Structure 1
Amino acid sequence: MIKSFARPIAWLLLAAILYVTISPIQARPVTHQPVSVERLVAFGLLGLAFVIGYPRRWLLAACFVIGLAFVFEAAQLLAATRHARFDDALVKAIGAAIGVTIGVTINRLSLLRH
């Protein structure tokens, strides 16, 4: 049941993160948190959602989400008001890896209960 809920959430998160990443800086939501925390949490949730949504393909999901961190950051080169930085991509990738790790742990623990 949770898998069928996590899949659309994962794709919606991906779309939202892409929009926030490449939209003009003025359109970026303000959370009053450090931007590194925002990046880490956003990609952590993305990694978690993809791994929960696609538990049998967790390694592919991990590569996909971690790769997206770098692709999305590079996409900022296309936006006039944005800039791409390797450090930002690295924070996003670390967040994705943390989310993936939590997702894999949740999936394995749920298998133990069955």
Structure 2
Amino acid sequence: MQQKLFPVAAWTVFGLIVLATLSPIGLRPQTGHVGIERFAAFCALGTLYVAAYPHRFVQIIALVPAAAFTLELLQHLTPDRHGHLIDAIEKIVGALVGCGFARLYQTLARGQPPHS
């Protein structure tokens, strides 16, 4: 049952990140320092995608950071948002850390080396 919830959670979090990233600035939720928020959001996203699709690690570790960069670029199409390289870097690092932690957990839980 738990394994079936990971894809739903991953796609839901991705949708919420897209909304928060591309919606008007006044609608963006704020919980603290934006750099930490960016990092944490994409760290959670990377973790959830690796948990949801454990046999797709190579694709996930490429696509989640690419999504972060793409969303940052898409902010240039909105009237009140603007993408910055440092914002993309915070998101990409968060995504990679989340993917790495999830993979490490999977490896330790299985007691065997990871297979991509």
TM-score scaled by structure 2? 0.92
C-alpha separation in 2, matches of 1:3 and 1:59: 19
What stretches of structure 1 of length at least 5 have no aligned partner? none
Aligned to 1:20: 20
Q: Which residue of 1 aligns with 2:41?
A: 42
What are the within-5 Å matches in structure 2 for residues 1-114 of structure 1?
1-31=1-31, 33-112=32-111
How many Å separate the matches in 1 of 2:76 and 2:3? 34
- For 2:108 and 2:6, how far apart are their aligned partners in 1? 17
Superposed structure 1 runs of 4+ greater than 2 Å apart: none
User: For residues 106 and 4 of structure 1, what CA distance do their matches in structure 2 show?
Assistant: 18
Q: Percent identity?
A: 33
- How many residues are aligned here? 112
The letter for the 2-side match of 1:77 is H
> Which structure 2 segments of 5+ residues have no match?
none
CA RMSD of aligned residues (A): 1.2
TM-score, scaled to structure 1: 0.94
